[in-house]
Structure 1
Amino acid sequence: MIYAFDLYYREEETVTACVGFENWSSTAPALQLTEKSKVESDYISGQFYKRELPGILQLLQKIDLQPGDLIIVDGYVYLDDEKSNGLGGHLYEALDKQFPIIGVAKKKYHSLEKEYREVYRGQSQKPLFITAAGFDLEEAQCCVEGMAGTYRIPDLLKIVDQLSKGMISPEG
């Protein structure tokens, strides 16, 4: 199973959302979950994980991760070419490096020069920025390129974004 996570902040509260899907070509989620939690940290550039990791770990307690499962985060796995951990890297370590993590970010992080791949989807001239831990970076690029949807953001990643913002309700 592939699990994609996204978070949204409302004042002092974070809403963490997750959609699970069977494979990269899936068109609909097999699982949708949300969890509210208190914001644990102020915003600090390069330390976004302090705000987002607690919510993801809390929501992961509701999921029975199995060998072969993979996680996608909205953001970066690594913040530079020396592989300083971003959100995905911290999550990878928190899960004892047992589950591959792919980061899908919408904006380029200034200190990352080589250890990422760009994905152009649909008619968009703006790429998505892909990073990975425990998973081949070129394969991650191909997997995200091949996800369902005709726009820049794959359909299932759009669903998890909308779920975190309360634009749609969790099902199942």
Structure 2
Amino acid sequence: MYLALDVHYKTKYAKSVGVTFLTTNDQVPQNVFIEMIEDVAAYQPGEFYKRELPCLLKVISKIDLNTITIIIVDGHVYIDNDGQFGLGGYLYEALDKKIPIIGVAKRRFHTNKETVKDVFRGRSNNPLHISAIGMNLDQAAQFILAMHGNHRHPTLLKTLDGITKSE
């Protein structure tokens, strides 16, 4: 089973959501897990993971990780070409390096061109920037490319985003 995660920040709290799915062809989640977090750390430029990682771990605590083979996060695994971690890298470490992480980002950093692979989906001229840890980068890119949907964002990731942003 696979797990995709996202967090959305509201005025006074954060909403952290995880969706599980069985195959890249799935159009709807098998399960949806939601956590509301009230004591969210303030945003610190260059250290976004300090705000987001606790939110992800809170929703992950509701899931049997023995059933999860890959986790997808909205963000980067690396923020530079030297291997400095972004959110996905820190999550990999927090989970004792047991589950491969795929980062799916909408924007690229100018410092991580060598640690991401651009994936063009559907008719979009804007790529998704894929990064990975615990698995081969080309396999991670193929996984995202194979996910259901005819648009830039795979169906399940778009669904996840919608659930995360809903009231």
- The corresponding residue for 2:65 is 65
* Structure 1 runs of 4+ with >3 Å offset: none
Q: Is the 8 A contact 2:117 2:141 kept in 1?
A: yes
Q: Is the 8 A contact 1:46 1:86 kept in 2?
A: no
- The corresponding residue for 2:139 is 139
**In 2, Cα distance between equivalents of 1:25 and 1:44:** 37
**In 2, Cα distance between equivalents of 1:92 and 1:38:** 24
1:111-142 deviations in Å (ceiling 9; x for gaps) = 11211100001111100000000011000011
**In 2, Cα distance between equivalents of 1:58 and 1:37:** 8
Structure 1 unaligned residues grouped into runs of 5+: 168-172
Look up the equivalent residue of 1:107 and give its one-letter code.
Answer: R
Worse overlay, 84-93 or 68-77: 68-77
Q: Aligned-pair RMSD on alpha carbons?
A: 1.2
Q: Is the 8 A contact 2:20 2:31 kept in 1?
A: yes
Look up the equivalent residue of 2:41 and give its one-letter code.
Answer: S
- The corresponding residue for 1:162 is 162
Shift of 1:6: 0.7
Shift of 1:62: 0.5
What percentage of aligned pairs have identical amino acids?
A: 41
Shift of 1:43: 1.8
Shift of 1:67: 6.0
Look up the equivalent residue of 1:95 and give its one-letter code.
Answer: L
Q: Is the 8 A contact 2:4 2:20 kept in 1?
A: yes
- The corresponding residue for 1:128 is 128
Shift of 1:42: 1.9
> Residue 28 of structure 2: SS of its match in structure 1?
coil
Q: Is the 8 A contact 2:3 2:68 kept in 1?
A: no
- The corresponding residue for 2:105 is 105
**In 1, Cα distance between equivalents of 2:89 and 2:53:** 10
Look up the equivalent residue of 2:5 and give its one-letter code.
Answer: F
- The corresponding residue for 1:170 is none
**In 1, Cα distance between equivalents of 2:115 and 2:16:** 27
Q: Is the 8 A contact 1:7 1:16 kept in 2?
A: yes
- Output the TM-score relative to the length of structure 2: 0.96
